[in-house]
Structures are given as structure tokens and as C-alpha cells.
Amino acid sequence: MINVTLKDGFPVELDEAALDDWELLELLQEIDDGAAQKILKVAPKLLGKEQTDALKDHLRNDAGRVPMSAMISAIREIMDEVKAGKNSWPSRIC
């Protein structure tokens, strides 16, 4: 397991097997290629349904909405943390 804590204090636990997922890599490549709508599939693939729902609840604003910018920022932060330092990805799996 890889533990990441977001800047706002929200803890995330990642299963290393979720990072060793070809379909996740394909999604990330498609996003890089301009298919921004694919971002919707990244969080469940990376975090699983339960943690994705918990993250959405954590980011939910007073109006009951989950801001897109906050969710995208959180996913980016998770990926950056995984890539950094001892949790380097994809070198952890290559």
C-alpha cells in the first residue's frame, strides 16, 4: 500500500496493483492526448469506488456539489505524490 496525504489533510491509501494497471495508463495517455472527459474514469480506477466517494464527499461544497476543479486538483496531487520520491511511479512497476 502507498499512503498519500493531500495538502488539505485528506488521507489516501493506494493499492500498488492499481498503479500497475494498463487501462489506467491508457486513460492517462488519452487525457494527455486531449480526451479530457476520460478524467472521470481515473479516480475510480486509481482509488476504487469507496475511496472515490469519500474524496468526493470531502470535496463537496456547501451547495452539495463537488467542484470539478477540486476533484481534478486532488487527482493531480495524488499522481504527483506517487511519482515523487520513494513512491516513484512508474519506476516502481517497471
Question: By C-alpha distance, which of 85, 86, 83, 84 is closest to 19?
Answer: 83
Residue-level pLDDT at 33: 94
Q: Give the C-alpha separation, 46 to 15, whole Å.
A: 8
* DSSP line for 10-48: -EEEE-HHHHS-HHHHHHHHHHHTT-GGGHHHHHHHHHH
Which three three-digit cell numbers place residue 37?
Answer: 472527459
Residue-level pLDDT at 79: 87
Task: Name residues whose C-beta falls within 8 Å of residue 41's C-beta, 6 or more positions apart in sequence.
Answer: 27
Residues in the chain, overall count: 94
Residue-level pLDDT at 89: 52
Q: pLDDT tens for residues 4-44?
A: 999 999 999 998 888 889 999 999 899 999 998 888 999 99
Residue 47: how many other CB atoms lie within 10 Å = 21
Q: pLDDT tens for residues 51-86?
A: 999 999 999 999 999 999 999 999 999 988 887 744
Residue-level pLDDT at 90: 54
Rounded to two decimals, what is the model's pTM? 0.81
Domain borders along the chain are 2-87
Residue-level pLDDT at 81: 86
